[in-house]
Amino acid sequence: MLGCGSLLSLLGTTARAQTSADEAWRRGDLIQAERLYSARLAADSTDQRALHRLALMRGWDGRYAESVALFDHLLRIAPDNVEATVDRARILAWRGDLRVAIAELDEVLASHPTYVAALRARVEFESWAGELGAALATNELIIAITPDDPRAHREHARLLTYSARYDAAAAIYDSLLGADPADEAALLGLGQLLLWSGRLDSANALYAGLLERNPSHLEALRGRARATAWRGDLITAEARWRHALTVVPADVGARVGLAQTLRWQGREAAALTVIQQAIALEPSNKEARTEMSWIRSAVAPRTGMSLLYENDSDGNRMFTLAVRGAWRPHPRAEVRGEAYRRGADRGGAAPLERSAGGAIVTVWGQIEPGWNAALGAGASGGSAGTDPIGTARVEVASPGRYPIGVTLGASRNAIDETAALIANRIAVNEVALAARYAPAPPWSVGGNVSRAVFHGSESNRRLAGRLVVSRRLAGPWTVGVSLRSLWFEKNLADGYFDPDFYGLAEITTRWLRRYGRWSLHADVAPGLQQAGRGTSVKGAFRAFAHAGLTILPGRELGISGTYASAGIQSVAASADYQYRALGLVGSWRF
C-alpha cells in the first residue's frame, strides 16, 4: 500500500502533468499538448479532458478515424457529454459525412433545443451542404436565443451573401458597423460581400483601410489580392499574393489564391508547383484540393469529340466528326493531335456530294512567365486518287498576364467546309497578327489583321481585319461592338466567298451564367453588312446558344446551336438574296 506521503506525491505529480498539458493547449503548442495528453491517457484511460482534446487534435490533423474512436471511447464513459457529441459530429462533417453529422446534431437538439453550440454547428454543416435556406432558418433560432450576440448577426449576413441576397446582407453589416465601427469581423464580411457582388473597387478600398492600421493583416492581404485578381490585373494580383506569403509563409489560403491567379495567366506549370506546396502544408484543405483539380485538368491527358451539323440557304449540308487529344510529357510541353472526317453535299440544279478528312499533330511549349509557342504539321484530303493538301501551323503568343498581348501565327490548310470547296481542292496560306488590350476592367479591346493567299483555279489574295470592343456589365451581361472587313483581289468561281469588299458591323450582347455544374451561354448580334463595292447595305443577324454540363473540372458535355445571316455567304445576282446558316454541335471534353 502507498503511504500517505507517497499518495500525496503521486497526486501532486498527476496535477502538475495535467496543468502542464492544459498550459500547452492554451498557448497553442499542440505538439507539446498532444504529447502530454497522450501521457495522461496512458496513465488514466478515463481522463475525459485528455480524450476530448486528443480527439480534436487528431481531427485537426486529418486523422479522422482515430479522432472518432477517441470520441466514441469518451462517450461510452460520459454518454451525456453534449459538447463531445457536437465535436464528434464536427469531425464527421470534416471527413465529408455531412448528412450523418447533421443527424447527430438533431439528436442533441431534440433534448437540448437551445444548445447554441449545436445550432451553430448545424448552420455550418447546412451551408457546406449548399442548403442555405435551412442554414438561415437555423441561424434565426440562434438570433432568437442570443439577440445581442453580434456573431449570430454576422453569420446571418454571411449566409445572405452566399445566397446572393446582397442588399439584405449589407443592411446587417451596416447595422453592426454602426454599433461598433471597429468590428473587424463585420468589416471582413462586408469585404467578402463587396467582392462577390462585383464592387471590386469598394472591396479594395476596404481592405486597404484595414492594412493602413495593420500592414500584416492576413485576411486583408488576401482580400486585396483577390479583388485585384478579379479585376483582371493579374500581375499586381500575383505580386500581392506573393507579398502575403512573405508575411505568413505557411499560409495555405494565399498559396491557393496565387495558384489560381497563375492558372488564369495560363501558367499551369507554375500554378501546379504552388498548389502542391499548399497541399503539402494542409493535405485536407478543400479549397486547395479544388484548385488542384482545376490545374490537373489542364495538364492531364485530355480527349474530346464533337459532332457538327450545318445547313445553309445555298443548299449546302455538312456533317463533321472531329476528335482531339493532348498529352503533356512535361507541365510546360504538350503534344496535341486533331483529326476530322466531313461529309458534304449540295442540292439544287447541280447536285454535288463529297467527303474529306484530315489530321494535324502540334507540339506546344511554354517559357516563363507564360510565353507560348506551337508548331504543327499534318495533311487534309478529299476524294480518292487525289494528292493530300499539306497542313502546317506555327504560332507565338505573349504571356497572358499582361494587359496587352499579341499572337503572331502562320498557317497552311485546306478549305473544305462545303462540297464545292472539297471538289475544287482549295487551300490557303495565311499570316495573322492578333492583339488584345484590357485598359481597365470591365473594358476589353481585341482584334486581328491577316493576309492570305487562296489556291484553287488560280491564286487569290485576301486582306482581312477585325476589331471588337466590349464591356462587362453587372451580373452575367457583356455588351460590345464588332467591326469586320475583308477584300479579295479577284472574283473567282472556286466556291468560297470572295467579294472585292465585305464589311460587317455588329452590336453584340452576351449572357453567361453558371448554375451548379451547368453553364449557359447565349450571344445575340444584330448588325449591318455590305457585300461588294457599290451594293446596298443590308441587315444581318447572328445568334449563338450553348449549354454545358461539367462532369469534373475541365471536363464537359455540351450542346450548341448557331444561326447566322452574315459573314460567309456567296454573292448572288438577285437583289433580294439573303443568306442563312444553321449549325448544331454536340461536344465532349474529357
CA 7 to each of CA 1, 42, 175, 363, 408: distance values in angstroms, whole numbers, following the listed order: 9, 19, 59, 79, 86
State which of 43-47, 69-73, 380-384 shows the largest mean pLDDT: 69-73
- Range with lowest mean pLDDT among 12-21, 230-239, 418-427, 571-580: 571-580
Alpha-carbon distance of 275 to 254, in angstroms, equals 10
**Residues 156 and 119: beta-carbon distance below 8 Å:** no
Residue with grid cell 433534448, as numbered in its chain: 111
**pLDDT recorded at residue 2:** 43
**pLDDT recorded at residue 385:** 65
Q: What is the pLDDT of residues 75-123, one digit of tens each?
A: 999 999 999 999 999 999 988 899 999 999 999 999 999 999 999 999 9
Task: Name the percent of the chain lying above pLDDT 70.
Answer: 94
- Across the range 242-252, mean pLDDT stands at 95
**pLDDT recorded at residue 555:** 80
Chain CA centroid to CA 558, Å = 17
Task: Name the percent of the chain lying above pLDDT 90.
Answer: 69
26, pLDDT greater than 60:
yes
- Across the range 336-365, mean pLDDT stands at 93
Task: Give the pLDDT band of residue 130 (cuts 50, 70, 90).
Answer: confident
Largest CA distance in the chain: 119
285, pLDDT greater than 80:
yes
10, pLDDT greater than 50:
no
> What is the sign, positive or negative, of the torsion defined by CA atoms of 396, 441, 229, 294?
negative
Q: What phi and psi values does residue 533 have, to the nearest 5 degrees?
A: -65, 140
Alpha-carbon distance of 163 to 196, in angstroms, equals 11
**Residues 449 and 413: beta-carbon distance below 8 Å:** no
**pLDDT recorded at residue 519:** 92
**pLDDT recorded at residue 24:** 86
Per DSSP, the chain holds a count of helices (H) and strands (E) of 18, 16
Pull the grid cell for residue 216: 500584416
571, pLDDT greater than 50:
no
- Across the range 114-133, mean pLDDT stands at 93
Chain CA centroid to CA 549, Å = 14
Task: Give the pLDDT band of residue 348 (cuts 50, 70, 90).
Answer: confident
Alpha-carbon distance of 153 to 161, in angstroms, equals 12
Chain CA centroid to CA 527, Å = 32
More confident of the two residues 17 and 325: 325
Q: Mean pLDDT across the chain, nearest whole number?
A: 90
Q: Return the CA Rg of the chain.
A: 32
**pLDDT recorded at residue 570:** 41
Alpha-carbon distance of 227 to 202, in angstroms, equals 9
Q: What is the pLDDT of residues 505-555, one digit of tens each?
A: 999 999 999 888 899 999 999 999 998 888 889 899 999 999 999 887 778
Residue with grid cell 516563363, as numbered in its chain: 368
- Across the range 377-381, mean pLDDT stands at 94
**pLDDT recorded at residue 505:** 96
**pLDDT recorded at residue 1:** 45
Task: Give the pLDDT band of residue 576 (cuts 50, 70, 90).
Answer: low
Domains of the chain: 302-589 (2.40.160.40)
563, pLDDT greater than 60:
yes
169, pLDDT greater than 90:
yes
More confident of the two residues 446 and 382: 446
CA 5 to each of CA 10, 12, 16: distance values in angstroms, whole numbers, following the listed order: 9, 11, 16
- Across the range 301-330, mean pLDDT stands at 91
**pLDDT recorded at residue 12:** 46
Task: Give the pLDDT band of residue 204 (cuts 50, 70, 90).
Answer: very high
Task: Give the pLDDT band of residue 382 (cuts 50, 70, 90).
Answer: confident
- 469, HSE (Cβ side, Cα atoms, 13 Å): 5
573, pLDDT greater than 50:
no
**Residues 188 and 223: beta-carbon distance below 8 Å:** yes
Alpha-carbon distance of 29 to 41, in angstroms, equals 18
**pLDDT recorded at residue 439:** 84
438, pLDDT greater than 90:
no
Total length of the chain: 590
Pull the grid cell for residue 82: 453534449
Which helix (H) or strand (E) segment holds residue 9: the answer is helix 4-26
579, pLDDT greater than 70:
no
